[in-house]
Structure 1
Amino acid sequence: MSKVIFVTGAGRGLGTDIVREALAAGHQVVATGRRPEEVEKTLGGPQDNLLTVRLDVTSLEEAQAAAQAAVERFGRIDVLINNAGNFFAGYFEEVSPEHMRQQIETNLFGPMNVTRAVLPVMRAQRDGHVVSISSLAGQVGTEFTAAYAASKFAVEGWMEALHQDIAPYNIRTTIVEPGYFRTELLVDASTTWPEPTIADYAERTTATVAAWKSINGQQPGDPVKLARALLTVVGQEQPPVRFVAGADAIEGVTAKARELLAQVEASRALGGNLGHDDTNA
């Protein structure tokens, strides 16, 4: 069944793959990016089922204008895929406060802006599906990803709460947690690499930047297959609230779940008896 699918960050990487697969499947697509002419060129030029719109996700005004343009062209918005994002790498002390704020601005407030613009359309329809691309880093924090993990953990918490807010209006939500896919996240256009600024971290920073750059183009996941899987998810009547994508992500999230359970059990003796005496009786 054809849907109107609104995709952010459609100019490269996974966003481009999602748009191409959606068009091939017969959907109508709103492909957004900061340079819409480049988005359209990347996608092969004008098409009847394609609308390209300028959208910097950090601007609520541009998000509202893009949502309005989508409705004017296609009459509705069935699916929002919050895909736009970037990566500020580095050990926490070497990530400047400005870069930390930029990371949160793009990866958290960006999808919030677009969702805020699209939800009135979906509520009026009493139908819709909000999909936000998180990451394995939204479940598992690792070294050198303090800013990115903070932004993705925040996306997960926001989306879990949003699910409860909008379910009464027949609007579904899905958090997507990809592992390592061969997208363009690690290219210089998407990643800000830290400069060694603190002697204690300098050797590790230099080595870790080199290691991360060597991964680019070698990631095991196929983004075209991920794009197709996402279209399967948005086509389901009862889509999953969380979709863990990639064998590495499934293994990582499984390990994290076991770790959390172990930490809960380790806390039980001390943490389970902290109520007032009259409630512990």
Structure 2
Amino acid sequence: MTEKINIPQLRFPPHSDRRVWLISSGDNPIGLNVARQILAHGDCVVSGVVPSNITRDENRRTYFEDFLAEVERNEEHGWKDRFRAFVLDIRKMGECQAAVAEAVNLFGRLDIVLCCTSQTVVGSVEELAASPRTLSLVRDQFETNYFGPVNIIKSALPQMRSQRAGHFLVLTGITAHLGTPGLGVYCASEWALEGFCDSIAYEVAPFNIKVSILQCSMEICILTNLISSAPPILPAYSASENNAPLFRNILDGLVSRLPQAAGNLNNNNNNNNNNNNSSSSSSSSNNSEIATPKSNNSENTQKTGPFSSPHDVVTMYAPFSSAHLEALTLETVHAITAIGGHENPPSRHIIGQEGVAAVKEKLKTVSEELEDFVQSSYSVNIHESTTEEEFNGDIM
């Protein structure tokens, strides 16, 4: 008999009025499960959904359609009146502004914005610089993971300033603390977003607007969103030549053990010739169709893993069932609902025991290195005995 998982009850901060949420990606597993919980709690939700011109994984589409049916079934509890799905590509500023306007027009205000849109580009820095196609992946990475959240934050700020209240929840990962081989571009986009959030938090604090960064475990944001991998074309970064464990190898080992992994591979070596000239609203996923790989690649896929195609960029979603996705995102959803709208929220919150341990180890290493070279830091200081006249004199 399978032991039942003990799931802690979700907790929400105390509040008197019904709150209005805007979720940047309401059709990804995290956004969808958050929407379900806050609708059950009694709040209002505007959920961004992927535009129809961007191909989605069939399982994810079904997952979202099942949620819409659940909203219909709970009409007597007010879910339908308190929920709106809004087509949103957060890389487009105009659509972000329209989503904010939709929330305000429907519900009168906007209290909490959850930025949970993400995608992952896998590959060494050199591999990602090898062709126009891989360079377009780098641009797409920053358009989605950095400029997208920046767009929606900037769009919501005028409304929150006028209310003199609001809360931004920005979902990143411990990859914003830890450099990871094979995820250099992904980590860079996360670090950039956190630097933006840390800075803007000071700017908007006088308006009673809060900014909270939520760092979930590495696998959460990566395995619940689109993953694109550059082909491993450089032998110098192979496992036999390089001791640094590239994330691609770890991902291959994990996804290869999941059912239907091969069926979710993206054979996207067609229609990519124009990616180098695409605008900022273009994404590698726009030109992609989730499909079963050709038979001549299946043997290689079985031997090396789904992300190690030697010739093509591979794009896919990890083939989890809806039950697996719900379990995978449980801790993250719990943290979002507990912190969202809190009167005194943390500026940065690390989700999960493993993430806390990893960040503590990184901070310990930084502290030790600081102490090892602290005298080198002090040695460049101007001596206390130096007078102002000496300092202002000719020292060149």
Answering whether residue 96 of structure 2 is matched by residue 63 of structure 1, we say yes
| 4+ aligned runs moved over 6 Å, structure 1 | 218-221, 278-281
TM-score, scaled to structure 2: 0.65
Matches within 5 A, 1:117-266: 117-180=155-218, 185-186=222-223, 190-203=226-239, 207-214=249-256, 222-266=328-372
Tell me how many residue pairs correspond in the alignment. Answer: 279
Residue 18 of structure 1 aligns with an amino acid whose one-letter code is V
Q: Which moves more between the two structures, 39-48 or 232-241?
A: 39-48
Residue 359 of structure 2 aligns with an amino acid whose one-letter code is V
1: CA distance, partners of 2:385 / 2:191:
33
Note the alpha carbon deviations across 1:226-260, whole angstroms, 9 max, x for none. Answer: 21221111142101111100111010111111111
Structure-2 change in CA distance of 1:88 and 1:114 (3 Å): same
2: CA distance, partners of 1:250 / 1:92:
27
Note the alpha carbon deviations across 1:86-136, whole angstroms, 9 max, x for none. Answer: 000111111233222211111011100000100101000000001100101
Residue 196 of structure 1 aligns with an amino acid whose one-letter code is P
Shift of the alpha carbon at 1:156? Answer: 1.3
- Indicate the residue corresponding to 2:262 in structure 1: none
Shift of the alpha carbon at 1:41? Answer: 2.7
- Provide the alpha-carbon RMSD of the alignment: 2.7
1:8, 1:83 within 8 Å by CA — same for their partners in 2? yes
Structure 1 unaligned runs (5+)? none
2: CA distance, partners of 1:229 / 1:239:
11
Shift of the alpha carbon at 1:278? Answer: 7.0
- Indicate the residue corresponding to 2:377 in structure 1: 271
Shift of the alpha carbon at 1:44? Answer: 1.9
1: CA distance, partners of 2:347 / 2:109:
23
Query: Percent same amino acid at aligned positions?
Result: 24
- Indicate the residue corresponding to 1:44 in structure 2: 68
2: CA distance, partners of 1:221 / 1:201:
34
1: CA distance, partners of 2:64 / 2:111:
21
2: CA distance, partners of 1:146 / 1:224:
27
TM-score, scaled to structure 1: 0.90
2: CA distance, partners of 1:120 / 1:199:
51
2: CA distance, partners of 1:240 / 1:58:
27
Residue aligned with 2:373, SS: helix
Structure-2 change in CA distance of 1:152 and 1:273 (3 Å): same
Residue 88 of structure 1 aligns with an amino acid whose one-letter code is V
Residue aligned with 1:191, SS: strand
1:71, 1:77 within 8 Å by CA — same for their partners in 2? yes
Note the alpha carbon deviations across 1:145-200, whole angstroms, 9 max, x for none. Answer: 101111111111111111101000000110000014556x336x600022122222
